[in-house]
Amino acid sequence: MNPPGGSGPDRSDLVLPAYGRGALSDLLPAVLAALGVPGAPNPLGLAPTRRACVFLVDGMGARLIERNAELAPYLAKALRANRDLTAGFPSTTAASIGSLGTGLPSGASGMLGYRVLVPGTSRMINLLRWDVPVDPLEWQPHETVFERAEREGIEVTQVTAARFQDSGLTRSVLRGGAFTGAESLPNRVAGALETLKDAADRDARALVYLYYADLDAAGHLNGVDSESWRGQLAVVDATVRELVDRLPAGTTLYVTADHGMVDVPADRRVDVDEDPELQVGVRLLGGEGRARHVYAKPGAARDVLQIWREALEDVAVVRSRDEAIYEGWFGPPEAVDERLAPRIGDVVAALLADWAVVATRREKLESRLLGMHGSLSAAEQEIPLLVFGAGAVASG
């Protein structure tokens, strides 16, 4: 990505997602290749394995591990020996889990942000909460990686909180396989290991997906420099060590994340609800503080683009929908489904440094968060891919 010009915060920190070469959307297809699925792409060069456990830690950016190496020595050592991935844009859970589960960039899966427009309506859908009556299978009709794995004879199991089993997000992008509900992290680890051991005893091919959200929650509420966040990172470090120590033979553990995070100070928040200029021509405001979808009133898209670009010149990269697609924010331009493009804002804003665009009246909860994510900074985009066990040495 050629950093845009202009004054203000350094744009050299911006990271364009490495779709097809090393993005989160490439991980599960590569795992299928490692499990012996014919034709599955393997741009990550993952080595063959009989069983795979993918442990996704919400909010665990690679740069955050580096900054806190003394609290997570096991993860930090592994980070130095492995590669990073990019999260994809926007670097937020709904989009990233969508990319993970489908093996597609956000522009192909339609999982285009935290809150996006339902085309043809005046409604916004929160893709984490699935708070409008939209059929998840119609919103995201592509076969998931879990469904393909099942079709290829691989035993698939998700291990996470029970409340996620029938959620819209799960049904849209993580459908397929068995589901094991477990509330505490130790119980999830025990469930994953039990499933893997059972498969190993039968020499069956298996894929286990393990998810943990508490690190992300601590960062949102208290910031990534807080004691609660740092304590959670230490818990994850110990958990990964335990998983590695107890992996059955022929099993590979892949540890990754959906995005990183940055703390946003109170004096670096632009409040749309208190700025009449940024409301001109705007029909609906989507996305979140670090990555905004701005939906214009009919005929006002060009004016909204100009206003937002000039008003946020020093704190954001602002693009039209077509520009963002052309520059590869949502995937290679040819991969972006034109039928899904209306879900993208007429104007898209990726915030720089530690800035955010909030809406204190419309988004009361989100506007109070300290830790945020969604943009193209290295702190948000760069996520770990730590490989342990049978496939720890990459092929080729």
pLDDT over 70, % of the chain = 96
What tokens does 240 get? 């990964």
The mean pLDDT value for 201-221 works out to 98
pLDDT given at position 391: 82
pLDDT given at position 10: 60
The mean pLDDT value for 215-219 works out to 98
Look at the block and give the residue holding tokens 């043809």.
Answer: 120
Mind listing the pLDDT tens digit for each residue in 248-265?
999 999 999 999 999 999
Question: How buried is 182 (Cβ within 10 angstroms: 0-12 exposed, 13-18 middle, 19+ buried)?
Answer: middle
* Whether residue 266 has pLDDT greater than 70: yes
Identify whether the C-beta of residue 196 lies closer than 8 Å to the C-beta of residue 206: yes
The mean pLDDT value for 185-207 works out to 98
The mean pLDDT value for 20-37 works out to 98
DSSP per-residue letters across 61-116: -HHHHHHTTTT-HHHHHHHHHSEEEE--SS-SHHHHHHHHHHSS-HHHH----SEE
How high is the mean pLDDT of the chain? Answer: 96
Integer-rounded Cα Rg, in Å, for the chain is 20
Identify whether the C-beta of residue 106 lies closer than 8 Å to the C-beta of residue 95: yes
pLDDT given at position 342: 97
pLDDT given at position 13: 83
